[in-house]
Structure 1
Amino acid sequence: MITAHPGLPEFDYIWPESLIEASKFLADHPGEAIPFMGGTDIFVRMRDGFIKSKYLVDVKCLEESDRITFDPEAGLSLGAAVNMNRVIASPEIQQVYPLLSEAAHTVASYQLRTRATVVGNLCNASPAGDTTGACVVLDGTLLVHGVDGFRTESLKTFFLGPGKTRLKPGDIVRAIQFPLPPPGYSARYYKLGRNASGDLAIVGVTVLGFPDDSAPSGYRFRIALASVAPVPLVPLEAEKILTNEPITPENITKAARAAMDACNPISDVRGSARYRKLMVRNLTEKLIREVWQKIGNGR
């Protein structure tokens, strides 16, 4: 039993020796045990009474979970224990997946980024997650180990609500995997916050675009929005406009308005619902234009 700091409840710290052992313990203690990785979210939520777990199961040292693996044909695999600063510093990620580095750099402070992980950010299922949009538009897939072995989970259906995912008791996310990005792509992430670092996003917008001769417009765009819905939001109508209609200033504005209409934000101390919707429109238009300037030249 660990005697916690003031404000934290007491809990037992479990150090399993394998994924199989960890999954079994978690499955045998539903509602009492949760996986523990970096702790940047779990400890805050325990302190505030949102998590009341008897056991923290440390899974950060299990079976290659701290590895970054890049294959020029297969793509990228980020182990669940890879922290944000390693994502920022990785030469392969900087060269092939710079959007991931850009998004990771907006997370909190340098000190917290030595503990915070991309996989932990996803499993926390915050609508304001900084790296979630990048993972969605880069078509990330989670490798999950459960009591029945390994399976994959698409991020498109992974999030069920704030703090809720498709993970079941016994499930441990082993890694997130990305295919190679589309040829000729460009992508941007913009986080609107009250200060430069350390704050949750009031609005987060991620835009990725690439040439595609099979699309009526000759291009396809992927868009993900943060802090404007209970789960990370993909504004499908906005994407369809950019796929099916010529890429013109008027249609970019039209797509940005469609993104605004798709979101359903709340009002809180960081910003009103109306303000968030307007910022979605403005930032989506800004990023589509920036991406379009890069992918549209020379075609």
Structure 2
Amino acid sequence: MQHFLLSAAARTLSIKAVFKMGEDAAYQAFCELRWPETDGEAVCPKCGCCETYNITSRRRFKCVGCHAQFSVTSGTIFASRKLSFTDLLAAIVIFVNGAKGVSALQVSRDLDVQYKTAFVLSHKLREAMALEDAGQKLGGVVEVDGAYFGGYVKPANVKTDRRDRRFKMHQSGKRQSLVVIRERGGDMLTFVGKSEGEGVAHVARVVEAGSVVHADEASHWDALHGRYETFRINHSEAYSLDGACTNQAESFFSRLRRAEVGTHHHIAGPYLYAYAGEMAWREDNRRVANGDQAAMVVRSAMVSPVSRKWAGYWQRAD
């Protein structure tokens, strides 16, 4: 049986098609995704008035009610953008096409923009993706697992000077725990903390009571037994045994590890949550055509407010 990613159904939008459609068509696509209720007709983001003037020379609108001027990206995560709509849509297609993610350097080269532009744009897209899962709850059969990322300590050159880096005293202090909570046949959520045990409280917040939880033998997951029907698997004995396994949670870590090693080469600690959210989104939508994936990202970006973290990122003193 042919893998979905190799089928024609997975390829419904290409970079060639984006540049072939032209700026006007790309602009209209953003308008339709920003205001789907009015078929792309502008709605004032300040007062909600549907009557507007179209300032065609600058691709802006003027509200009849409050007289405010705005554009299709005003008040969204793409506010104050400088890229053309064609380049912006092409960047989104490039971004969703990477099964293991796409580095900012590659986006920079493909679109001929500065690395800074590609880096911030990529993180804005990750932020928009994450908003899809805001306030989400998981239920049914759920798998829980954790893994550690970051905090690499380079071994000393001379063998006698090397230390066992498994001990906390010989670590850098930058290592972080990433806990994934994956609903079988559904979506997944991620949590970043200093230790895997911190994820227990997060599981209690996002997993509905009455769910069935699968976890490994780590002692901190013992607390789940009082709240859920819990199955445990000892990975030193088997990956799946007596109906218990966390293989789907492990598959997420496999995707994230491949992205870290093969695409990004390094994921800085403060951004681990963003890359984890991106990989969770990719895993959840792995059998969705790339054209639909691009539309989902644009739609999420169009309803996302101006980013407090990434707006003016390079202009801040810190």
**So what's the TM-score if we normalise by structure 2?**
0.21
Query: Which structure ranks higher in relative contact order (CA pairs < 8 Å, sequence separation ≥ 6)?
Result: 2
- Which has the higher Rg, Structure 1 or Structure 2? 2
Higher strand proportion: 1
Higher helix proportion: 2
